[in-house]
Chains A and B, each alone.
Chain A
Amino acid sequence: MTPRNLPLDRPAKRVGIVDRAASILDCFSRSAPEWTLPQMSRRLMLPKATTFRLLTNLVRHGLLEHNAAANLYTLGFGTLRLADVVLQSLAIRARARPAMQAIRDAVNETVVLSVRDGDNRYNVDSIESTHAIGQTQQIGVAIPLYAGAASRVLLAAMSDEEIGAYLARVERNAFSAMTITEPRRLADEIARTRRRGFATSSGEFTPRGHAVGRAILDRDGCAAGALHVSIPDTRFSRAVEKRCVDALSEGVRKIENGLAGSASRDVGCPPR
């Protein structure tokens, strides 16, 4: 069974107050890490008094912090603790780390680990290149399975039946002119990825970002995750791409050898 984001047997029933509190958390991002009460009230379309009570409750539980001097709300340390629990429960992260470090050292480009959850992929760890210029990888953001190299290798690791159901279920929007959304072209790319064992992409998800990706398969052939190397346009060439593919393949082989001797499997990695 694939983990889903909806329970199976009944319609979802939301609690309004918790829903609003969670909507407050949804507002925080790298580009909007600080909010004032009036800004949040406008964004939620709720009265200031209601918004204030929600914010105050979130502060009480450590999920937000209030800087009284600047009158700003930011995320609290509670979010870091819960994020750590999620990271620690991903066994693949600890197993992939040494290989990620080796790949980064070999090519000095940013190496990212991502995992599939339902219809999305999430970056869960990255080791950045030491160059001043590089693509910052957003951690924990849902990325669809049809865009980019890391997504494609995870898609290619699914059964044809699962892929068919996925393509029928999911609406595909182009992030750029390079995003592949037509089922036939996607099928071609999946076949090519399976043949080669890795995927390459240019600007499909991030404009002017290149990537090479490879799935990490466990002993049942299930994708425990994917590694990709992200290369900015300014340093990209076919030769660089080739070097990244080689380093990536070598690193993934090492992780897979480690996985072969282990029965431990992350939550969310179903047998094929």
Chain B
Amino acid sequence: MPAQPQTAAESGDRNAVRYKGEAIARAARVLALFGPTRRERTLAELAEASGVPKATLRGILDTLVGHGLLAVDGAARYRLGYAWLRLGDVRRNQLNIRESALPVMRQIRDAIDETVILSLKVGERRVHLDYVESTQSIRRITQIGHEAPLHVGAAGSVLLAGLSEAEIDAYMGRTITADDARDAGRRFVAAIKRDGYAVVSGAVNAQTAAVAAPVQDHSGRIIAALTISCPRERFTRDLESRCIALVTGGARQLSRTLGYAP
């Protein structure tokens, strides 16, 4: 980092602190002006949208360009720089969904005393990444790494519902051969998209029932499923509605921890 000469704003009084914050706030405001539909902007557009005077803005833009946070082409159009890919990659590497999920999973288990499972999509299968078990003597038992096709069971169905329509169609076409079963599968996925959760009884295992909800990341993508699973004999209407409330609330909480901002 090049040593910069001290400016008046650096001398440390209260006004200086506010001034420093303001320059960074302005830079942050400028960066937020770029989006998927607004990938290139001129100095004039940025000045108008940010309310920062052009002379000041030039300095901020030059600085951000110098660090690769913005790039500018020969026609003086600015866009976000590739340095964000590097920073995003570093941040993504640190996302530890299992670690973030455990407190939420324990909280759900403590509230309802049924087994709570965290699952991911790996290829075209759902895989259990972790679970917190019920303390009741008759309880759902599972294993880390347990796999099933996506359309079998609550967790997999939630992950399937997170794919695009085209991907869902392609998956259904490849994996389910009977026409009526495929139609039923499509209707179920549509219902999950509408309701935000899936209830399945006796699919993976004849003796168990499960309620699952999607976990979303900062971009809104569905990256995991949170599931409460219990013996079917305990799965009354009342327990079902409590499971739905707990698992959707827990999934929302976990999504926020992972940067999801609806």
Contact = CB atoms under 8 A, between A and B. Distances in A.
A50 B219 CA distance: 33
Contact residues on B (Cβ < 8 Å of other chain), bracket: 35 or more
Q: Which of B7, B60, B76 has the most CB of A within 10 A?
A: B60
Interface stretch (A41-49, A144-152, A187-195, A212-220): A41-49
Contacts of A74: 91, 94
B73 A140 contact: no
A7 B65 contact: yes
A63 B28 CA distance: 9
A211 interface: no
A78 B82 CA distance: 15
Given A3-B72, A7-B76, A88-B36, A19 B94 contact: no
A173 interface: no
A251 B60 CA distance: 42
B55 to A, nearest CB: 9
Contacts of B76: 7-8
B103 to A, nearest CB: 13
Nearest to B80: A86
A25 B79 contact: no
A95 B224 CA distance: 26
Contact of B59 (A15, A33, A62, A142): A15
8 contacts: A17-B9, A22-B63, A45-B1, A54-B24, A62-B28, A78-B28, A83-B92, A268-B71
Interface of B: 1-5, 7, 9-10, 12, 17, 19-21, 23-25, 27-28, 31, 34-36, 39-40, 56, 58-60, 62-69, 71-76, 79-94, 217-219, 259, 261
Given A80-B218, A86-B84, A86-B88, 12 more contacts: A14-B62, A14-B63, A16-B7, A22-B27, A22-B64, A22-B66, A60-B25, A82-B31, A118-B71, A124-B82, A139-B86, A139-B88
